Amino acid sequence: MADKFEGMAETLASPAASAFDVTPNDVADLPTTTRGITVVVGGAVTADFLQNGTNITVYCLAGIVYPYRLTRVYAAGTDATGIVGLY
């Protein structure tokens, strides 16, 4: 399939081009910093943000893309499920 945007620079305002399933973990960072997240079942997500945000709890509704730059999602304090990291 042709990609009409192949030669364009990717920025934080660009749509996500990749995704991965997030398994909350209290000791391990995510494999890459996210540009956003979405959840299948809404609830609390406790996470470290890229800058100045450690162990912060945010509440997410299902099906919405949140533009959060996260480095870790904690198991403790997270009850949202089906978390997908976008980058």
Q: Supply the pLDDT for residue 2.
A: 84
- Determine, yes or no, domain membership for 9: no
Q: Supply the pLDDT for residue 58.
A: 98
- Determine, yes or no, domain membership for 7: no
- Determine, yes or no, domain membership for 1: no
Q: Supply the pLDDT for residue 43.
A: 98
Q: Supply the pLDDT for residue 1.
A: 81
Give yes or no for residue 9 having a pLDDT over 90.
no
Q: Which domain holds residue 58?
A: 19-86
- Determine, yes or no, domain membership for 11: no
- Determine, yes or no, domain membership for 27: yes
User: How much is the pTM?
Assistant: 0.89
- Determine, yes or no, domain membership for 47: yes
How many structural domains comprise the chain?
Answer: 1
Query: How far lies 28's CA from each of 9, 15, 36, 65, 74, in Å?
Result: 30, 26, 18, 23, 9
For 11-70, the pLDDT digits (tens) are 878 889 999 999 999 999 999 999 999 999 999 999 999 999 899 999 999 999 999 999
- Determine, yes or no, domain membership for 10: no
- Determine, yes or no, domain membership for 44: yes
Instruction: Work out the angle at residue 17's Cα, subtended by the Cα atoms of residues 13 and 19, and round it to the nearest 5 degrees.
Output: 115
Sign of the dihedral through C-alpha 7, 18, 72, 43: positive
